[in-house]
Chains A and B, each alone.
Chain A
Amino acid sequence: MDFTYSAEEDRFRQDARTWIRANLPAGWGLTVHESEDERERYMFRLEWEKQLYAGGWAGLAWPREYGGRGATLVEQAILAEELASAGAPEGLNIIGRNLTAPTLIHHGTEAQRLRFLPPILSCEEVWCQGFSEPNAGSDLASVRTTAVRDGDHFVVNGQKTWTSFAHYAQWCFMLVRTDPAAPKHKGISFLLVDMRTPGITVRPLRQISGESEFNETFFDNVRVPVENLVGGLNEGWKIAMTTLAHERGPEDALGRQIRFKRELGVMLDVASSQRRGNRAAVDDSALRQKLATSVIEIELMRLNCLRSFSKMIQGKQLGPESSFQKLYWSHVAQRMYETGMETLGPTAPLAAGDPAVPGAGMFQTSFLQSRAFTIYSGTSEIQRNIIAERVLGLPKSP
């Protein structure tokens, strides 16, 4: 067990930090913030990602033949830490980088990897994820969108929902039903679909935070070349599990942890400066205990990630255990943002834009966003089923 970094890794961190500082706009996070306008904000994120690519920081741990740098997982984690601590924008092609890429590295053909991985890194192609449907949420295996073979094409018909970034994406990976007669898990295939194909309609949905990151997406006789099938026909469920393990795994959680920790730091500052009668909010012992709980839980989120990460470095594949990471951090983060609202006390009902709101309304927005944590990439109820059945070996539910 060793929590120190090698001299090389320290040098890498210093290089990353220097580059990030030099390339973020001057005054970033202090006087310069992301745009309030959603489209502008997303385009800025895309530009930032392209800048990262040009600087050689994209796809660090990917194999060189697909445009990566062949760096270590530790270096990749260091970069994620440095980006998050600098408050750098998240990027728009998160799904392409974190989900499409590992899925293709595990299950794609060499031709698919060579075709799709480099433009993910360069961000010429942004990806979205077509899993959920109006009637296939937690019961994901009951997807109804169909793909019927017609010559050297599949013809896709149906509707996907909660499709994050679909309105900015050039490509979508999706689960489609290719054998309606088979048991539901055995009739699903994994397809890569060009979003510019005729027959696709994208309609943005507004979220409870007021943002419109996700969409409903309609497919009307969309023709997809057969070479865009990943893995075998009707083997899509197994592939989806790889995708989901990455969506729920420690790589994703490490970057989030630093963002949570930064907001928790602001929360501590606000607790110290907010007055409650004749004392500071932070002098209230009940609030102190809650803030301490979050300090501990958020730090343990990082350490939980590092424990899984160490297994990955030893070559262990991500499996159903990654549900544990997601189940842990999603609830921990929700608890933290509830404590954030409690820290604001009487001013909690104010919102961004009001001059009297502490933290520029960040806590209110984050609190609302946090409600999604226990829903997306598999609800907590689904994570618990996975842990109980596939990790603990309990019998399947009726």
Chain B
Amino acid sequence: MTSDSCLKLDSSFRDPCGFIFNRNAKLLRQINFVYQNNYDFFLKSGLCEKLQSIGYLVKHKEVDIKLAFDKKAYKIIEPEKIPFISYPYGWSFGQLKDAALLTLEMEILALKYGMTLKDATAYNVQFLDNKPIFIDTLSFEIYKEGQPWVAYKQFCQHFLAPLLLMSYKDIRLGQLLKIYLDGIPLDLASKLLPFKTKLNPKILANIHLHAGYQNRFSGVNKKIGAFKLSKISLLALIDNLKSTINGIKLNTKRTEWSDYYEKNNNYLSKALKKKLKLVESYVDEIKPKSVCDLGGNTGKFSRLASKKGILTISLDIDPLAVEYNYQYNKQHKEKNILPLILDLTNPNAGKGWNNTERQSFFERKHFSMCLCLALIHHLTISNNIPFCKTALFLSKVCDWLVIEFVPKSDSQVKKLLLNREDIFIDYTQKYFEAEFGHFFKVVKSSKINGSKRVLYLMKSKRK
């Protein structure tokens, strides 16, 4: 049955109940016979319909069994396509918190319908129009009276520990999820969290004591029978986790970028309006299918594209700026936009087994257009990345580029050079155009009135 156009996804191999594969450019999920009873119950109990109707679970349709990858197949389903797959280490605090709450809500509903979640990995959640959505249809199994929640440890590692570290220690600690793909080890979280968290009974229990028990039983060399846990006790545990997660708040001290528009006095409102208009005109002219706003800050320019129905990924290195972006989009019910944390000087690489389980960021999508606004001076001067390196990289990841050149006379560049030697003799508009000219064709350029900056529309020569 396997053919050349049929390929299993590298991220889908851990669960023997099924996997995701590509067949003739269609993304399909094979459900193996081993999962038959659970899948049938999932449908018959009405849980699947309920979760899909309230937007908690990705919709799917059953397709011809002839499309199966191999003979183990009981059913083949085609899930609704998620436009861009994101990973927890790209999410802001609010995104991770919403994903955690969704997972717990799913478990509560599953128990109500006689099922339970057999895993609670954050990778089972994606974002659609700023709402978390569960994507693993095979995560449900029939609940057996008395069984504990097998995913309790995983939930604490994937959600609770990083949220607490971001809240009580430093928002940047969410990036630990890049190293620990199966969630932050609880003993590490326990060591990193401040003492005051031990005075909070919920954190004391779910992190500190939990970590202690893990350590205590890690070297046990004899089989310990699992124990019975009543359904009401299980619901109480989930309720406890839910109120713990709900109680975690973000310390909203402003970071470098999160107040950029408010503090940046380079942009008189007239210049900002002109820039917005120019970027919008470039987007209207090209009509890209997808946009990636590199250094998108709180998403002001990203929304120019997303409001036109264009899939827009709004990236920023600052987790707080991304958090503001996400909360704004949520509050204003914005669609087609996904804010994510990304350090452009060190984009997320391939991770996990064989370095292919989790794809690198730019492997996941080639963008029709990239916005590179008020960014070039940070890359060139703050990070010493020559124009040619930036141009080469950008020409690989997009077809069209909207890029803003910020000259040395601009107060933001002056600020960057204030207390360091100016070694950037090539940082001129002329050299910028020459270096980018190797990889891009300049289609349009326009001065931004009210500032000293220039906005370019360029076309990649690779296209």
Do chains A and B stick together as partners?
no
Q: Residues of A at under 8 Å CB distance from B?
A: none
